[in-house]
Structure formats: structure tokens, C-alpha cells
A and B are shown apart, each in its own frame.
Chain A
Amino acid sequence: MLQRVPTELKQGSDHRRTVLDVSGISKTFGAVAALDDVSLHLAAGEVRALCGENGAGKSTLVKILTGVYRPDSGTISVGGQPVTIDDTRHAQELGLAFVSQELSLCPHLSVLDNIWLGSIKVPLLHRRSQFRRQAREALERLGAAHIDLDTPAGTLTIGERQLVEIARMLTRDARVLILDEPSATLSDLEIERIFAALTALKKDGRSIIYITHRLAEVFQICDSVTVLRNGRSIGTHPIASLDRAALIEMMLGRSFEEMYPESSREAGEVALDVKDLVIPGKVTSFSVTVPKGEIVCIAGQVGSGAVDIINALAGLVYDASGTVVVNGRPMALGSAARALNHEIMLISGDRAEEGIFRRLSVFDNLVATRLSSYACGGVLDLGGLRRAARALAKQVGVDAGRLRSPADTLSGGNQQKLAFGRCLDRGPPGILVMNEPTRGIDVGARADIYAIMRKLCARGYAILMTSNDLEEVVGLADTVVTVYRGRQVNVHGRQSLSMHRIVADIGHPLESSTEVQA
């Protein structure tokens, strides 16, 4: 099915050429369908927002457009020509340029060198002055004439680096620029600069795919929006025909009540007490109290320090300091083994990097943290471990028949259930610290995981987690602590909780600074 963009787009130029036509793209990883029959139809000079929750398939789509992945089926046309995108270089040759959140400039090279680095247009023997002029023109077109071509890229601000990267794409005749959450790490002023640059590009007739979680930006600079959910395209609409509520509903596609189990019990005694947590360069001061049986969420944007706080409490940040008391016992930070002794366990959304052992079996993953309790003189009681693994698999709802399968043959949701299983029943109920526990997990498995979390709370576990997914935060948390750039903004109890207030706290904390608590 091919989605058509209505022609009455606002500010539409009179001649709407199609630059990019993606139709019926599907891509599966193992058992997971990352994209299912997704289509996208982009006109010249159009700024298209690409919205969807984490795991909706945005990044997979981008990786297909930039030649990182190949689609299982579907066609892509650029400028009316059907193409197969071989690799990232080929994507650039086709005029599809990707500006990532993790910038890809070489910090020690000058701005000029960075702009031309890897360009096929630079012959071995060339006149530098000509390339200098073109680089300058590209920066001027973006309203970034103040950037000196000879300074090392590493000395620029993040926003300036992003502009340099866009300029790099311009010198390569990019027809479609793909920006992945460019605003996540930028100050307001820098965001305005990027927006000005995007407007200039649009006037130039170039098209932009703009990926963002911030709905305000969608309404501010985009012409139309495509919403993905669970790998499927929910629809494409001109911005003028939508309001915020309608867009949110398209993204979520369900109500809170179906998704999130009720908080069932009164908060118990304090399980985790953190005072004045400091992580040099990332968190200036953070305090939180987590009672037994409660879920406390730390909400903040990328770079706010929320993830660092979770990692520090799990013992994975070596220069963190602060007073931490766990179930009445003080704990020094900086060692994961020590944190585990105090029954603090980490569940990470970054499963591939720090969550599971992908090539090891389901069995190995489930028992990873309890080998010592089943070892006699270093030799393992494999029978006992196997019984323990079967019991754990049953508790978290993973098929016990798959104990021998490698973990990466499981879906993302089941992989995360392994991480939960690993943390259970090691001793008395402990504290689970989680970093984006449902990242990249489909809706059904999410509901399972939320149910597991509540079940654990009922058994006396305490949960401290962070999530970029504000809907999840609002639906799940008993208490929300908001952070902005490494400092605490606010603490909201269940009664005073709303999406609106959290967005205000983590985006523009100065406006709500009157509510700052000590």
C-alpha cells in the first residue's frame, strides 16, 4: 500500500517533484519484524517528521535508507529511478545523507578537512582554494558563516558540529537530509540555528526527514508527519490537519489502562536512600528515596544524566560519589560486585551492549549472577543450576524448553525477561535499577514486563528506573524525579503526575524552577 501525501501542504511550492519514494519495505531480525510494509513518499522541499515510540522502526527505516541494512522486500526510488542501496557510500552518491546524533567528525581535523573528508569529488591533485570556497558557501547557506574553516572540529559546540556535518552533506549534493533527534543534545539557541538552517535548505528545494520525540518541534518546522508504530506505518498527514492530541494517539494507539497495571500496595520502608550523588561532568547533585514496593522513575532528556545515575548505583561508574544506604546498610559506589552484594541489580535496555550474553544459552543467561551459590570449591552443581534456571524461566514467562537456545534467537522482549530472571531470588528482595527496560520491545511484551515489575514490587522489590518514553513514565511510576543537565528539577508524586509537567521539567526547567525541591 502506498501512502499519498495530500497536495495541499502548507507553504507548498508550486512544483512538487517526488524525490524519494519508499514503498512496501519490510525487514525482520530473527523473529522480530522491525518494519512491516512501510511506505514513505517525500516531495522536494518537504520537511517530514518521522514519529513513533522507541522501537517503532524509525531507526531501522533510516538504516535502510542509508544502506546499513538491506530490506527483505519492498522498493526504493530516488528521483523516480528505482535503486538498491548497496552501502552507506552508495546512499551518499544517491543524495541520501544522514546526520546522526553521534557526530561523525574527526575532532583533530579542521572544519574544512572534515567537510571534504571522504568525498568522491576531491581528486588526488586538486586546488584547495576551490574546495575552500565551496565549503564556505555551504556554511553560509546554513547561516553558519561565523564558523572558521581552519579551527579543529573538536573545539566547536555540538550545535556547530551538527551544522558542519550538514554542510558536509550539502557539498555532496544531498537531496534528502535525514536528521536523527538533532535537538536532543542542543541548547535552545543552537536549536534555533539548526531550524534556521533547515528552513534555508527547504527553500533550496531539498527535502528533510526529521526524527524527533519532541512534538512541539514537529508542529514548529515540519510540513507533514509519518507515524510508525511497531514497525507499521500508521499514516501520513499534513501537520495542519493534526493537533497534539491526535498525534499522540496515533503514536500510542492504545489507552493507559490496558497497558499499565495498577500500583497495588502502599509503599513500605525505605529500600534505597541516595543523597548528594555526584558524577563529575555529568551529575551535579542528585538525591532520591525509593521505598520497598514502589517504582520510582527518573525522567530526563538524552544527556540529562539519568542514565549515569542508574549506572552509578549499579556500581559501573568509577568516579561517582555520594551517600548511598541500601536497606539500612551504607554502600560505597564504584563496584558492580559490591552493588550486587547489597542486592542492587541492573537491568539495561541496551541488551546487546550490557544486558545479555547474546551467544550464550538462555540457561547461561539466567544463572549468570548465581554461579557462586551453586559452586563447591569452584566446581559447579549443574543439576542444581538447571533446576534453578527452569524455575526462573517459569517465573518470568520464558519457555523452559528453550534453555539451550542461544539468547539472541529470542525476541527482544524475551531477552529482557532473561535479564529480569537473572535478578530474581538471589536472596531477600532487592533493588532493581533499570535503564530503559523496554527499549525496542513490542507492545505485547511490554505489557508482560510491566506486569512482572508490579509483581516484583508486590513481593517487596524496589525499582528505580529511567526512561525516555514519557508515556511509560507517567503510566508506570509511583514517583517521578525529573532531571535536567545533571541536576534535579522536581519530584512528582502519583497525584501531581502529568505528561505536561514532566515535559516542562525536563525541557525548560527554568520555567518551573519555583517548584524545585531541596
Chain B
Amino acid sequence: MTTLAQSKNDTVGRLLNPAGRRKRLLVLIRVIALAALTAVALATPGFLSLPSMLSMLTTMSFIGCVAIGMTFITLSGSLMSFALGATLSVTTVVFMASLPLGLAGALLVAFAFSALITALQGFVIGYMRANPIIVSLAAQALIYGFVTFATGGRGIYPEGGETDILKSNLGVIPGPLAAFLLTVLIGQFILSFTRLGRHIIMIGSNRRAAEAAGIEPWHAITAAYAFAGICTAVSAVLMAARYASGDMEHGLGCDYHAISAVLVGGTAIGGGEGSALRTLFGALIIAVVQGVLLLNGFSTQMQYLIVGIIVLAVIALQTLGERR
């Protein structure tokens, strides 16, 4: 048993030490994975056609906006939220329901509403130090419960085309994609160039040290959640316009994909390390995987399975990278 343990130790040790070699190994694995993905994508018939690309990127954009919001939550050291999907859904409903106020009014209401309900969660998590996962699960249940009670579970399908302007494109670039890229830019600007962004990252990196440096954690955490709400609202109004409806089904499964995009992009699950740009790449990778699977005729369940395996692999790589 001793010899077995020893030989195992040696191989593992040679592979993982010293730290520099380990880092190179991780980079190598990532490069190989990306190359393999590109090869499969290029080999898939129909993948390179413009319509299929654009449809893939549009789908990605809805998830992507939520993922940028999720990035802020993860970076602040609050792991992840399972309530952003529900927030997206309820915001489509609120947006459509407030259309009588005019498009601008409805947009304002939708963004404010979404930011408010996520900021409330951020306050509970930051100020009262509640467990972020539990809070998000509770918020999700509350949102679904309340909306189902209020609307009887039916969606809202307004007449008229007031929201059609939100369906327009920027030349060849689909509107949602443009909105997503703008969200990425704003998110990255906040993280890199503002005090708030640095505070969020410092708190995620080491909450107690941030406190000792005179930063009030709950301010930044609440702000991070509010920003997540705003990002989610971007997705919500575009989706509502696209389907011309407000419905609790719109956000289903979107938490899961957003979390996947954040993790695959390489933002540290514990917080303090990551960026909006990384999440952009994460979202892209997941979109390509899904597009390839779809074009090859795999079912939605299969897509979940594959994305799940990818996320697991990424987390395993992250932990390997951190082990002493």
C-alpha cells in the first residue's frame, strides 16, 4: 500500500509541481479544448452559415446579459443567484403590464423593478450576512409564488406593436447582440475603472481584509446585486419584445446557463477574480457547444448534460489550479 501511495504521489507531484508548470498545464488544457471545439464547430454542416450564426448569437445574448449580472454577484463573493431567471420572467410581465404608461415609462418601471428586487436580496446578503444561495432560492420561490397568485399563472399578451422598436437590428448585428456587447462593456468599465468595481473585487477576494481597509461590504454587495438586476432587465425587455409577451416561462433555465457562462469563462467561484470579458467568452463557448449539438440533432436534455459536464470539468480545473 505504501509503494502504491508513493508512486501515485510521485506522478501527481511531477504533474502538479512546481506552480509554474501547473499553470502552463492549465493553459494547455484550455487551448486544446478551444481548438477541439472550433474543429467540431467548423466540421458541423450548417454551422458557418450567417443565419445560423446570428440565431446562435442572439440566443446567447439573452443569457449573456444575465451572466454579466451573475458575474458581479460571483465576484462580490456571494457565489451565485438562483433568482435571476425568476427576476427575468417577472420583469417581462411587469414590463408588458406597464406598457399603458408608454414605452419609455414601461422601460423605466421594468429596470427599476428588477434592480429593486435584486438589490433587496443584496442587502439581506450583505448587511445581514445571510447565505446567498438560500436567499436566492427563497427569492425565486417568492417571485414565482407571488406572480402566480397575482396573475393566475397566465402570461400577458398586449395588442399593438409598441415594443417592436426593441426588435430592430443594428445593420446586420441583431439588437440583442448589440445590447449584450454594450452590457459587457459597461460591466467591464465598472470593474476596471470605478471605485465600486474595485470594492466589489476586494470584498470577494477577502471580505475581512476589505472591512479592515475601511470598506463597508454591504454597500458594494447591494450595488453588485442591483447591477445584476439591471443586466437581467436588459434581457427581460428584449425578450418580452421578441415574443410580444410577458410570461413566467421566459426565464426558465436561464440561471443555470448564466452560471455556466460565468464559470466556464474562468471567474473564480469564490469571488475576487474574474471579469465581464471572461464571461463574454464563457457565454460564447457555451453558445457554440449548444449550437453544434442542436445542428447535430441532439435533444435539449443532451445539451444540458454536455454543458453540465463542461462546467464540472472547469470547476475541477479551477480547484486543481488552487491546490498547494
- A-side residues, CB < 8 A to B, are 29-30, 69-70, 81-84, 86, 90, 314, 316, 336-337, 339-341, 346, 348, 353-360, 364, 368-369, 371-372, 375, 378-380, 382, 422
The distance in angstroms between the C-alpha atoms of A98 and B9, with both chains bound, is 23
B215 at the interface (CB under 8 A from A): yes
The distance in angstroms between the C-alpha atoms of A346 and B216, with both chains bound, is 15
A84-B2, A359-B205 given; A371·B212 CB < 8 A = no
Knowing that A340-B214, A368-B215 are A-B contacts, what are 11 other residue pairs whose CB atoms are under 8 Å apart, sorted by A's residue number?
A84-B5, A84-B6, A314-B212, A316-B208, A354-B206, A355-B209, A357-B205, A358-B206, A359-B272, A364-B198, A371-B195
Nearest to B215 among chain A residues (CB) is A337
What B residues does A83 contact at CB under 8 A?
2
Assess the B214–A369 pair: CB atoms within 8 A.
Answer: yes
A70-B9, A380-B193 given; A354·B212 CB < 8 A = yes
The prevalent SS among residues of A at the interface is: mixed
What A residues does B2 contact at CB under 8 A?
81-84
B202 at the interface (CB under 8 A from A): yes
A84-B9, A356-B206 given; A378·B195 CB < 8 A = yes
**Shortest beta-carbon distance, B26 to chain A, in Å?**
15
Give 5 nearest A-B pairs by CB, closest first: A340-B214, A354-B208, A357-B205, A375-B195, A368-B213
- B-side residues, CB < 8 A to A, are 2, 5-6, 9, 13, 19, 193-196, 198-199, 201-202, 205-206, 208-216, 268, 272-273, 324
**Shortest beta-carbon distance, B20 to chain A, in Å?**
11
What B residues does A84 contact at CB under 8 A?
2, 5-6, 9
What B residues does A82 contact at CB under 8 A?
2
**Shortest beta-carbon distance, A367 to chain B, in Å?**
8
Assess the B212–A316 pair: CB atoms within 8 A.
Answer: yes
Nearest to B8 among chain A residues (CB) is A86
Assess the B208–A69 pair: CB atoms within 8 A.
Answer: no
What B residues does A371 contact at CB under 8 A?
195, 198-199
- Among B9, B195, B206, B214, the residue within 8 A (CB) of A357 is B206
**Shortest beta-carbon distance, B220 to chain A, in Å?**
11
The distance in angstroms between the C-alpha atoms of A407 and B202, with both chains bound, is 13
Assess the A336–B202 pair: CB atoms within 8 A.
Answer: no
- Among A86, A339, A356, A378, the residue within 8 A (CB) of B209 is A356
**Shortest beta-carbon distance, B200 to chain A, in Å?**
12
Nearest to B9 among chain A residues (CB) is A84
Assess the B213–A316 pair: CB atoms within 8 A.
Answer: no
Assess the A372–B272 pair: CB atoms within 8 A.
Answer: no
The distance in angstroms between the C-alpha atoms of A90 and B199, with both chains bound, is 43
Assess the B196–A360 pair: CB atoms within 8 A.
Answer: no
What A residues does B212 contact at CB under 8 A?
314, 316, 336, 346, 348, 354-355
- Among B9, B195, B202, B214, the residue within 8 A (CB) of A364 is B202
The distance in angstroms between the C-alpha atoms of A420 and B54, with both chains bound, is 53
Assess the B215–A357 pair: CB atoms within 8 A.
Answer: no
What A residues does B13 contact at CB under 8 A?
70
- Among B193, B201, B268, B273, the residue within 8 A (CB) of A382 is B193
The distance in angstroms between the C-alpha atoms of A356 and B198, with both chains bound, is 14
**Shortest beta-carbon distance, A430 to chain B, in Å?**
12
The distance in angstroms between the C-alpha atoms of A314 and B214, with both chains bound, is 9
**Shortest beta-carbon distance, B183 to chain A, in Å?**
18
**Shortest beta-carbon distance, B224 to chain A, in Å?**
14
**Of A83, A356, A360, most B-chain CB atoms within 10 Å:** A360
**Shortest beta-carbon distance, A258 to chain B, in Å?**
32
**Shortest beta-carbon distance, B221 to chain A, in Å?**
15
A70-B9, A86-B9, A354-B206 given; A337·B216 CB < 8 A = yes
Nearest to A369 among chain B residues (CB) is B213
What A residues does B198 contact at CB under 8 A?
364, 371, 380
The distance in angstroms between the C-alpha atoms of A316 and B9, with both chains bound, is 43
**Shortest beta-carbon distance, A12 to chain B, in Å?**
31
